[in-house]
């Protein structure tokens, strides 16, 4: 998926303007990358359009955030206080990210996340 297509998809899904969509994508990718352990953030970044790969924070230990903490950090970075809006934005971004990844990477990524965060992606929970 190309950068422009990714931003346009997030804009449409979340009802955001261009700048807000970019800020939302960057916030969600930053928090998601911080949540991932090992080299999974690098693998995620490698499958994103070039302008977005730098938005993925690298944290080899991975944070152990549940969905509530995950969304709080997204809202802080996005500078959005309304919890429902933050959830809507995160869902729009993560669903778009899920579509941009190949099957193996999507499976590896989701395998590191708790059910509450997986639900934001709008895809079935990985098995095994």
* Count of domains forming the chain: 1
What predicted TM-score, i.e. pTM, was given to this entire model? 0.94
Residue 127 lies in a domain: no
Range of the domain at 86: 3-121
Nearest to 24 by CA among 37, 12, 11: 11
Q: Provide the residue-wise pLDDT of the chain in tens; the chain has 128 residues.
A: 899 999 999 999 999 999 999 999 999 999 999 999 999 999 999 999 999 999 999 988 999 999 999 999 999 999 999 999 999 999 999 999 999 999 999 999 999 999 999 999 997 655 54
Burial label, 61 (beta-carbon count in 10 A; 0-12, 13-18, 19+): exposed
Cβ(1)–Cβ(49) below 8 Å:
yes
The confidence score (pLDDT) of residue 37 equals 93
| CATH number (domain holding residue 11) | 1.10.490.110
Token pair listed for 119 = 């639900």
Residue 102 counted as domain residue: yes
Residue entry with tokens 């903490």: 69
Which residues, at least 6 apart from 7, have a Cβ–Cβ distance to it below 8 Å? 18, 21, 22, 25
22 vs 43: CA distance, rounded Å: 21
Determine the Cα–Cα distance for residues 80 and 84; give it in Å rounded to an integer.
Answer: 10
In contact, 30 and 38? CB cutoff 8 Å: no
Rounded CA-CA distance 42/80 in Å is: 27
11 CA to centre of own chain: 14
* Domain membership flag for residue 128: no
């Amino acid at each position: 998926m190309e950068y422009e297509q990714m931003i346009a998809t997030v804009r449409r899904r979340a009802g955001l303007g261009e700048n807000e969509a970019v800020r939302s994508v960057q916030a969600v990718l930053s928090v998601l990358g911080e949540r991932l352990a090992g080299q999974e953030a690098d693998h995620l970044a490698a499958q994103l359009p070039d302008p977005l790969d730098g938005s993925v924070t690298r944290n080899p230990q991975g944070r152990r955030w549940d969905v509530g903490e995950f969304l709080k950090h997204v809202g802080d970075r996005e500078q959005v206080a309304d919890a429902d809006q933050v959830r809507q934005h995160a869902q729009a971004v993560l669903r778009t990210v899920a579509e941009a990844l190949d099957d193996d990477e999507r499976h590896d990524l989701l395998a590191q996340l708790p059910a509450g965060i997986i639900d934001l992606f709008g895809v079935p929970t990985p098995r095994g």
